[in-house]
Structure 1
Amino acid sequence: MVKGKSIGIISIKGGVGKTTSVINLAHVLANDFGKKVVVVDANFSSPNVALHLGAANNKYSIFDLLNGKVKLSDVIHEHEFGFHVLPGGMGNGFNSNANYMKLKEKVNQLKNHYDVVLLDSSPTLNNELLSTIVASDELYVVSTPDLPTLGTTLRAVKLARDKKMNINGLILNKVRSKNYELKSADMERLSGIPLVGVINDNVRVLEALSKVKPATMLNPNSDVSLAYKKIASKMLSLPYGEPKFHTKILGYLKDDFAKLKTHKWSKGLAYYK
């Protein structure tokens, strides 16, 4: 039996779009590439996956699993978006007694049943993040194109290498292509991590969050969705088929219309400047 692989999505800074990336990657891996996917919320002290999926009221959480109170089959549930979820402990509080290093053991069990195990890590340099690094076959770091986040990205690189792990790719998120941003080539050169994808700053991501849906579902042909599909193809070492020109144009027009509506009705226009 061919085992699946575990992929850790990490950062050492909140607000870079790590959990958003996990959800969108899970959606395209399952629905566009036909893979059996499970998302593991390994952000033990501040879980966010359930909030992104509108499923915060779970009977059991990853704490119950790590403490040996339940089996994997008791805590994992299938989500309507096409993938499975091992939820964090939202509402259960932080459990310092959980043995986080057991995560690798549970992830190895999951790999017997899933093609891809996606781990959403803690954004803090602690044992929670270490448990994700140890449990992952591959690591991808999410960053934004600015100096403070680059600094934390370099810390993530050092931490992974200290554990004899390489970071397989850099996902550059919330890119506005402004002069004050670090260029993607500079981020790649300074971090020493191969760039696997650039996610443009897009109003559809915020709209998707408000609707508790992946952006890749809201507009499958937006620039954001196409970027996530390219990243997923690289994770799987599979060729990516670009959509036809008219399909891409329709996707861009749909995004532009959403931006116009937002500019007309939203008071938070500074976000787009």
Structure 2
Amino acid sequence: MTKPIQVWMAPPGPNPWKVVVILEELKVPYEIRSIRFENIKKKPFTDLNPNGRVPAIVDPNAENLVLWESGAIITYLVEQYDPNKILSGRSLSEKHHLNQWLYFQASGQGPYYGQAGWFNNHHPEKLPSAIERYNNEVHRVLGVLEGCLEGKEWLVGDRITFADIAFAPWNDRLDDVTRCASGDGFKGFPNVQAWHERVTTRPSWTKSMEIKAKLMDEQDLTMVGLPKGVKSLQEWEKQIKEQDEAASK
């Protein structure tokens, strides 16, 4: 009998939800270990991931194997828990094209979306050149996806795969990342929008987002990840520092 895989996460970030949706699709038992943002770079979590980033997993079915980096986790999960190739490649070319897209998501989409989100929403001063650069990079990534999805429903093959799922959590934050009007994030990229909607209308996504909303509510967080009543990341970080200093006295 398969024991639940532990998924360590802070609920606001997009990367843990790639893992959760894939586990839901594969019907693999899991349990979420939800931690607060201020504890990501502290023990006990840094004993699992010294880089202090989420997600990380612990698999009790494999001698308590610990893995971090969402791409590595996804690769492991489909190798170990997808024998019927539900989300995996069924041929040599499919296998390697899926890995190609996963690397592009991890090296292209995630970092550029993250930097755009930072300079649009959290940097303490507005830097128009940085905002322009990273918004342009977001649109460049969307352009790559738009062209490759022309005449296709999915990135590889004729069904959803882990590659499609890997892109969805960051694309779901597109409006916030680029600070555009609600619903305008996909403007000019109809193929990407239709593809994203195919992923996010699946039961696995719906259930995962229900879990996310519950965890966010438990931590009293807004949908942008800040505690309710806190206006900026800098204000929150100041509060965390003051709390840590008080606890150490």
TM-score by structure 1 length?
0.32
Structure showing the higher helix proportion among its residues = 2
Instruction: State the structure with bigger RCO (CA 8 A, min sep 6), 1 or 2.
Output: 1
Where is the strand percentage greater, Structure 1 or Structure 2? 1
